[in-house]
Structure 1
Amino acid sequence: MILLLFLVSCNNGSGSEKIKAAVICTSPEAAKIGIDVLKKGGNAFDAAVAVGFAMAVAWPSAGNIGGGGFLVGRTAANEAFTIDYREKAPMLGFKDMFLDEKGEPVEDMSTYGYAASGVPGSVDGMWRFHQKYGSLPWKDLVQPAIDLAENGFEMTRDLASSLNYQAENLSKTPEAAAIFTKTGGFVIGDRLIQKNLANTLRKVAEQGRDGFYTGEVAEEIARSVEEKGGFIRLKDLEQYEAKFRDPIRFNYRGYEIISMPPPSSGGTALYAILKSFERYNPADYPYASAEYIQLFTEICRQVYADRSEFLGDPDFYEVPMQKLLSDEYISMITDQIKFADQHLTSEQVKPAKDLIAESTETTHWSIVDEKGNMVSNTTTLNGGYGAKVVAGSTGFLLNNEMDDFSIKPGVANMYGLLGNIANAIEPGKRMLSSMTPTLILKDGKPFMTVGSPGGSRIITIVAQAIIRVIDYNYSMNEAVNLARIHHQWLPDEIQFERGAMSFSVAEQLKSWGYELNRYSSYGDCHGILFKNDGNLQLGISTRSNGAAEWY
């Protein structure tokens, strides 16, 4: 059974069908591949690997083997874990590598072309994940993606439109142009065939991670990047290693939240937002009221200010996690909140130094199996189609994740986020991220999986989805699809989607001194909610792309 863009009644828990296992992502082809793995006896972790490689074929703007991401998982035996397969700076990287002789950022250098790419982590991440938690043979999980790349698939209207929109950038190099552009433009129903990518995936299927990080593929990546002025070398690829990290775990109104630690800022920021919101009674802040929007905004203002100052790769920088996850820190946030027209501006809100010494083009999938294994995974190339260049004859796009470093203190990245020394470029360092894959338990049992793309807005997207379900009793479908608000310290504005607030609420906020900025819809958030009757309630984004399969 497949679902695109909308949910049928049974998925909202109101129908007679009992859902035992489900796969949600942004590609119908990948969703079908994932559910087929579950039907063949694979677990949720096997399905996650298969979906990951299928997304690299079917969702080229963000699905990838040339990027990286973060995965949060939980076994049926109640073991929670995370995998950090974030990209790394090449060993030739250095703090000022994207600055000119005057110390100013070189336009587009960190966002377009071979120099913008960090060392990819996706293949190694999936390999190590499968080695520890998979049950089906590795080759069987990669083969469906090989078939999809070899035989092609019919483009949706959204994919054709997306590729046409990026055609000018994708046509700047012959390798990308040959795959992702077409004279006259693509139309719905055109077939996207990727023979070179299929060949690369065959090597990965046969040799595991070594089929990507050593041998012919690695040599071709290194050759093409060096030839075009980039920084990745063969040694960078050979030495790349994804990491298992302890998840961030905390209680929110009786629910256990499990999310991603640094170098993702997601779990840390989610903790701060939810634990601050927990100190207020939702009944006093009706959903979508001016009071609710103000409270959420003021919490996020301080959280994003501290994100810019204190978070980075813990392997290189001593992130003050003990203090960022403390009651003292939450008190600092809530004690300075002032309401109505007495609120602070972002100029007045500074990172909490007295206490403490992301693209919209990301993609997410949530998977649960009938045994209770859970996966929440977010992956990206950073900007749409990453650096817009293909690594030689490999057939895959490289990321432009180097832009997620703090290129220069006080200079914003492509998402408007500022950074400091904690996220400065260093050889082998992982760049900071906003990705927030999250699992939630209730009384030790599965309750929810949730995650989203959305660049710097990912954290607030996930936080709002959780708040809607737990505090305001919305369904999973409503939680991921209701219009959203966002504030990230700088710029000092409340960003909102159409429908996020009424005219009267907007006028009230303006009278309190807030600047409002309406944005187009963003963030294909997906989630799965476990109902008390044992049924699953699926939430699939209706913003642009949502696909699910279940049984």
Structure 2
Amino acid sequence: MIRFLLPGLLALLSPLALADAPARTATLHDAGIASANAYATDAGMEVLARGGNAFDAAIAVSATLGLVEPESSGLGGGGFMLLRTADGREVFIDARERAPLAATRDMFLDAAGNPDRDKSVNGALAAAIPGLPAGLDHLAKNYGRLPLSESLAPAIRLAREGWRFGPKNAAMLGWRRDVLARSPAAAELFLRKGEVPAEGTLMRNEDYARVLERLAADGADGFYRGPFARRLVRGVNQAGGIWSERDLASYAVVEREPLKFTHRGYQITTAPAPSSGGVALATMLKVLEGYDYPRLGKVERSHLLVEAMRRAYRDRALYLGDPDFVQAPVDMLTSDAYAAGLRASIHPAKATPSELLPGIDAQPLRPDTTHFSIVDAEGNLVAVTQTVNLPYGNALVVPGTGFLLNNEMDDFSVKAGVPNAFGLVGDDANAIAPGKRPLSSMTPTIISGRGRTAVLGTPGGSRIITMVMLGLLELMDGQGAQATAAAPRFHHQYLPDVVQAEAAAFSAGEIEALRAMGHTVESGERTWGNMQVVLWHHDSGKVEAGADPRWEGVGKGSASDASVYR
């Protein structure tokens, strides 16, 4: 029997938990970085040791990931940066890509009105205007302590000296090899005689080093204006794109107010629109507030989590889009009253078929993105999720640039009710429009309470939001950084109406019990995500850094004693 917990009891817990938030003093403590690649973590730690803060280190990690993990992110893509400064200020930097000004609502539909998936994910037409270079420049100028030349130095050096091709690079490249071969510059950069390089191959990228040096010398203008911008536009359009110099020159990052709410006495700060992640997180957790779910058995608890996921993803499809274009009902979707209404539609022992929820009428491909988390010795925090969308983006490299472009145009709703490459459906709120930012699932998040603060996030396409939610629940249950990053995962996204689960998520008996409730459960050996968690213990000053073990030996969590910075 599912037991209910009065919301008033939860409210009484909040002051007790939030009262132990970290004091804003100059006392130094440990610093920690967790990222999806050891080269990037080491680059960030190097910049911290040079006297940089968390934001300088974030620039180093970001630029290095763009080099050594090109399947996941890079200068041709974009990202979200969630910051908390040592004095408590919180800000969300939106460096998401924008649709070209020549984009049209139906640009990926064929003559019969059907989506042309090849055009929306492969080649020049799939590329939105990159935001990451502007984001790095903005971070350095407004929050960093070091000049860009110092923060970018590790990535520049590594691009010239070389890095070793790893198992994750190879696995993702094998899936995209044939498409990469269509672009001569991409094939020259990433393939060896038309084939995937052997693991351990030394890879160099002189063009990438030169682009970073241009960014260091001239800031964002070195990328978005002048000769380099003209080269990008010419290369994209020669390959069939629709970019203009005005597209690049008019690009700007946007500082937005993060989305904040409490749950079980914890303060959660997360991503606002054009991320759907924060709103969906708030919706799911507020639905759960009506239940004493931490005390439930695993099957009952998982049933409630799935039903909360189902409803939040339905709302994602219906309502959310770029806030500069769409007036989304965020206050409603994150309200206690709305959550109560959603709870009323949940049967305590039976699954709700998605087709019974009013919404969009209607298999995800391999998702890839990257995330890193940083806490510095002064108490600055940063969570960054960055992407080129599908592995190796749109598989196009403009000659002489050294980086892949994104295929974020597929993150728009190409046609209402038609799934994108991640199986997500959408409506007119996320329709293509000139200059618009596509809806994203990236969900960098900070959680504070009970004497601890954690920074976390993950790649994973449509599964990002549910992975972050499960990670938050692990932390609330007292788990450490590494255990949180490694915890088994399951997911539901409204459509398709399936509970997807990693092999370790449920036992055979638990799967049968969920099926008896009416859930369709698909469990297999495939894993997903690449969560990176840094956890700061306020009283002791100790920091834990946990890197997802699913890509064994690739990611790295690193923490340094505070005495290093004295």
TM, length-normalised to structure 2:
0.90
Q: Which residue of 2 aligns with 1:4?
A: none
CA contact 2:77–2:97 (8 Å) conserved in 1 = yes
Q: Which residue of 1 aligns with 2:259?
A: 248
Matches within 5 A, 1:215-226: 215-226=226-237
1:329 aligned to 2:338?
yes
Percent of pairs identical after alignment? 39
Matches within 5 A, 1:522-537: 522-531=528-537, 532-537=539-544
Instruction: Give the letter aligned to residue 475 of structure 2.
Output: V
Q: Which residue of 2 aligns with 1:428?
A: 435
1:232 to 214, 231, 243: 243
Post-superposition Cα deviations, 1:175-218, rounded to whole Å, max 9, x if no partner, equal 10000001253112211111111222221111110111012221
Between 264-273 and 540-549, the greater mean CA deviation after superposition: 540-549
Displacement of 1:351 after TM fit? 4.2
Q: Distance in 2 between matches of 1:216 and 1:331?
A: 56
Displacement of 1:129 after TM fit? 1.8
CA contact 2:72–2:388 (8 Å) conserved in 1 = yes
CA contact 1:359–1:453 (8 Å) conserved in 2 = no
1:366 to 360, 369, 373: 373
Q: Distance in 1 between matches of 2:349 and 2:294?
A: 18
Q: Which residue of 2 aligns with 1:512?
A: 517
Displacement of 1:256 after TM fit? 0.8
Q: Distance in 2 between matches of 1:345 and 1:19?
A: 49
Structure 1: stretches of 5+ with no match in the other structure: 1-17, 353-357
Q: Which residue of 2 aligns with 1:190?
A: 201
Q: Distance in 2 between matches of 1:162 and 1:336?
A: 41
Q: Distance in 2 between matches of 1:77 and 1:165?
A: 45
Q: Distance in 1 between matches of 2:209 and 2:166?
A: 21
1:383 to 385, 390, 395: 390
Aligned-residue RMSD, C-alpha: 1.6
Q: Which residue of 1 aligns with 2:148?
A: 138
1:465 to 448, 465, 471: 471
CA contact 1:260–1:266 (8 Å) conserved in 2 = yes
Moved over 4 A (4+): none
Post-superposition Cα deviations, 1:226-281, rounded to whole Å, max 9, x if no partner, equal 11111121110010001000000111111110011000001111111112222221
Displacement of 1:360 after TM fit? 2.3
Q: Which residue of 2 aligns with 1:28?
A: 38
Q: Distance in 2 between matches of 1:418 and 1:283?
A: 31
Displacement of 1:143 after TM fit? 2.2
1:415 aligned to 2:422?
yes
Instruction: Give the letter aligned to residue 463 of structure 2.
Output: R
2:121 to 99, 107, 111: 111
Post-superposition Cα deviations, 1:475-496, rounded to whole Å, max 9, x if no partner, equal 2222221111100000001000
Displacement of 1:446 after TM fit? 5.9
Matched residue SS, 2:281: helix
1:72 aligned to 2:82?
yes
Q: Which residue of 2 aligns with 1:160?
A: 170
CA contact 1:19–1:550 (8 Å) conserved in 2 = no
Q: Cα 1:242–1:499, aligned 2, differ >3 Å: closer, same or farther?
A: same
1:490 aligned to 2:495?
yes
Q: Cα 1:359–1:375, aligned 2, differ >3 Å: closer, same or farther?
A: farther
Instruction: Give the letter aligned to residue 331 of structure 1.
Output: A
1:346 aligned to 2:354?
yes
1:274 aligned to 2:282?
no
Structure 2: stretches of 5+ with no match in the other structure: 1-27, 561-566
Aligned length: 524
CA contact 2:156–2:212 (8 Å) conserved in 1 = yes
CA contact 2:309–2:494 (8 Å) conserved in 1 = yes
Q: Distance in 2 between matches of 1:222 and 1:264?
A: 27
Q: Cα 1:283–1:313, aligned 2, differ >3 Å: closer, same or farther?
A: closer
Q: Distance in 1 between matches of 2:406 and 2:318?
A: 25
CA contact 2:545–2:558 (8 Å) conserved in 1 = no
CA contact 1:498–1:518 (8 Å) conserved in 2 = yes
Q: Which residue of 1 aligns with 2:401?
A: 394
Q: Cα 1:110–1:413, aligned 2, differ >3 Å: closer, same or farther?
A: same
TM, length-normalised to structure 1:
0.92
Matches within 5 A, 1:292-307: 292-307=301-316
Instruction: Give the letter aligned to residue 463 of structure 1.
Output: M
Post-superposition Cα deviations, 1:129-173, rounded to whole Å, max 9, x if no partner, equal 221111111111122211111221122233234334432221111
Post-superposition Cα deviations, 1:320-345, rounded to whole Å, max 9, x if no partner, equal 1121121111111211110223x321
Post-superposition Cα deviations, 1:448-483, rounded to whole Å, max 9, x if no partner, equal 10100000000000000111121x332222222111
1:542 aligned to 2:553?
no
Q: Distance in 1 between matches of 2:223 and 2:302?
A: 47
CA contact 2:140–2:147 (8 Å) conserved in 1 = no
Matched residue SS, 1:528: strand
Q: Which residue of 2 aligns with 1:449?
A: 455
Q: Distance in 2 between matches of 1:284 and 1:74?
A: 32
Post-superposition Cα deviations, 1:95-137, rounded to whole Å, max 9, x if no partner, equal 0010112211113110000000000000001111221111111
Instruction: Give the letter aligned to residue 211 of structure 1.
Output: G
Instruction: Give the letter aligned to residue 350 of structure 1.
Output: P
Q: Distance in 1 between matches of 2:213 and 2:226?
A: 13
Q: Distance in 1 between matches of 2:256 and 2:294?
A: 37
1:149 aligned to 2:159?
yes
Displacement of 1:283 after TM fit? 4.1
Instruction: Give the letter aligned to residue 528 of structure 1.
Output: V
Matched residue SS, 1:366: strand
Instruction: Give the letter aligned to residue 330 of structure 2.
Output: M
Q: Which residue of 2 aligns with 1:439?
A: 446
Q: Distance in 2 between matches of 1:398 and 1:484?
A: 30
Post-superposition Cα deviations, 1:257-308, rounded to whole Å, max 9, x if no partner, equal 001100000111111111222222134323xx21111110001111000000
Displacement of 1:26 after TM fit? 1.1
Matched residue SS, 2:120: coil
1:47 to 34, 52, 57: 57
Q: Which residue of 2 aligns with 1:170?
A: 180
Displacement of 1:359 after TM fit? 5.8
Q: Which residue of 2 aligns with 1:202?
A: 213
CA contact 1:113–1:387 (8 Å) conserved in 2 = yes
Q: Which residue of 2 aligns with 1:480?
A: 485
Between 489-498 and 151-160, the greater mean CA deviation after superposition: 151-160
Q: Which residue of 2 aligns with 1:12?
A: none
Instruction: Give the letter aligned to residue 178 of structure 1.
Output: E
CA contact 2:32–2:544 (8 Å) conserved in 1 = no
Q: Distance in 1 between matches of 2:181 and 2:161?
A: 23
Matched residue SS, 2:87: coil
CA contact 1:143–1:205 (8 Å) conserved in 2 = no
Instruction: Give the letter aligned to residue 336 of structure 1.
Output: S
CA contact 2:454–2:535 (8 Å) conserved in 1 = yes
